[in-house]
Chains A and B, each alone.
Chain A
Amino acid sequence: MASLRLIAASTLISQGAEAKVYKARLTSDESDPPVLLKHRFQKGYRHPSLDSSLTRSRVTGEARALVKCLRAGVNVPGLRMVDAAEGILGIEWIDGLSVRKLLPGGTPEEEDEEEEDTPEPLTEYGISVDVLMRLIGQELAKLHLADVIHGDLTTSNMMLRHPRSFASHDSSLPTQLVLIDFGLSYHSSLVEDKAVDLYVLERAFASTHPQSEPLFAQVLEAYEQGMGKEWAAVSRRLDDVRLRGRKRSMVG
């Protein structure tokens, strides 16, 4: 009940098929920063006991993945609270924008089209497109070296922290690339899974950002450097995946 009261007092940010996302305050303390709540609401089309066990395991899985990433040095939002019974995950509120909205030529998402008045939004974050691509590659390499597969890599699931609220430890980099939405993530050391993860992102780039081929090549270059010895195998498999698509076998 407590968490549902919390949600009733929060601001809805967006809604998908699986969950609603809110901006909330856990305490009355003004110095306590806001959090993002992800509520996996009840699905009326599932049997209630199946629904609650699925929700519980997904919330738990997402929370565990975030902590695993933090330990591995992957930039992800910190965890603030978990209520597995109600299907609620509370994570750090990140002040910034998704890479999708920051990339030139990124097609605006359906509802909001008002951001066209900022012609070059990246300058506010103090980095160039080239640097942004490199940051993406570095972060993905750290993720895969920790054997975490994101499962839904798109430019919407990456954010840049706004320099106004981010205390950088590197004077040449006023921002930080953060991977978000680990709802479909899982643990795997298989080359196949890593290659498919990259392939999904490559397709996402191609469909949301026109003329993005050179951009993705830069991502892969930084990924290659980050992966070291592991790159050769992933690269070979990525070539296979490109030929056949994401699904391994079309028969049987």
Chain B
Amino acid sequence: MLSYQLPHLPPELSQIHIALYTGVAPADAAALKRRLISAATAEGVEGEREREAVNFAFVDARLITSTRLLRAAVYSAVLADAQGRLLTKTVHSEIIWTLNPTNNISEAMRRYGVSETTTALVLVRVAGPDLPASDIQIAMDAAVKGKRVLMEELESVTDWGAIKKYHKLANEPALKEVRGNVAGEHAIIDEIVVSQAALRSVQA
């Protein structure tokens, strides 16, 4: 798990925890998605407890190019929350909305959230300093059936073709310049999507 602070933001939004899980079975991902949907509408104390158990941003890791991208999307979403201008219900859903290049919230959830085809997941938790990182790690491990791996393994699950499609990059001059150079192409796509995530706050 990667943990870091945003020291300039309000304390309750200042602690960021990110973990990557691979080897998620599609059936388990589908069950997780159903669980998230039912948790959202569950009532009473039970509902509160259920919502806390899945109080993370569940991001499909295939569409994540780098931890840089996660950092940029988290920063944008947390800043929006701190300024009281969230466009979605929570800071966690705002992270998913920020990653998607269009303004359609349900499309963002469908593409970047957990789905029936998810095999690798990134979990993000925005928290305050009173919640220890070890507790968050335990809660993350309990929420996902998969193997927690180092963030460095992201590159092995990234689906560059899908990213190019969703960001409409195939015909951009930036990519034509590096045709045939895979490493160069990935670096450029990463830079574009990171910058795009940072731009989201002024695009809506």
Contacts and interface: CB of A to CB of B under 8 A. Distances in A.
Interface of A: 1-3, 5-6, 9, 26-29, 32, 59-60, 63-64, 66-67, 70-73, 78-85, 90, 142, 145-146, 167, 169
Given A146-B173, A169-B178, A28 B198 contact: no
B160 to A, nearest CB: 16
Contact of A5 (B8, B72, B195): B8
14 contacts: A27-B16, A28-B6, A63-B199, A67-B196, A73-B172, A73-B174, A80-B75, A80-B198, A81-B79, A82-B199, A84-B201, A167-B187, A169-B184, A169-B187
Say whether chain A's binding surface is mostly helix, strand, loop, or mixed.
mixed
A78 B191 contact: yes
Contact of A28 (B5, B82, B181): B5
Given A2-B10, A167-B187, 20 more contacts: A2-B9, A27-B4, A27-B6, A28-B5, A28-B7, A29-B71, A32-B4, A63-B202, A64-B202, A67-B192, A70-B174, A70-B195, A73-B173, A73-B175, A73-B176, A73-B177, A78-B195, A80-B75, A81-B76, A84-B202
Interface of B: 2, 4-10, 16, 71-72, 75-76, 79, 82-83, 169, 172-178, 181, 183-184, 187-188, 191-192, 194-196, 198-199, 201-202
A78 B16 CA distance: 23
B6 to A, nearest CB: 6
Contacts of A81: 72, 75-76, 79, 198
